[in-house]
Amino acid sequence: MKTFESNSKKQVFIEGIRDGFPIALGYMAVAFSLGIIARMANFTPLQGFVNSFLNHASAGEYAVYTVVAAGAGYVEMAIMTLVVNARYLLMSTALCQKFSSKTSMINRMLVGFSVTDELFAITIKRPGFIEPLYNCGAFLIAALGWCFGTSFGIIAGELMPLRLVSAFSVALYGMFLACIMPEARKHGIVAVLIIISFISSYIAFRVPALSHISSGTKTIILTVIIATVAAIAFPHPEVEDDD
Model confidence pLDDT, tens digit, residues 50-72:
999 988 877 778 878 888 887 77
The pLDDT confidence band at residue 141, using thresholds 50, 70 and 90, is: very high
Tell me the pTM: 0.65
Runs of H (alpha helix) within the chain:
2-40, 45-54, 58-69, 74-84, 87-96, 105-113, 117-124, 132-159, 162-186, 188-206, 215-233
Longest dimension (CA), the chain: 72
Model confidence pLDDT, tens digit, residues 181-203:
777 787 788 888 888 888 988 88
Model confidence pLDDT, tens digit, residues 66-90:
888 877 777 877 887 777 777 788 7
Q: CB count, 10 Å around CB of 241?
A: 5
Return the C-alpha torsion angle 114, 115, 120, 126, nearest 10.
40
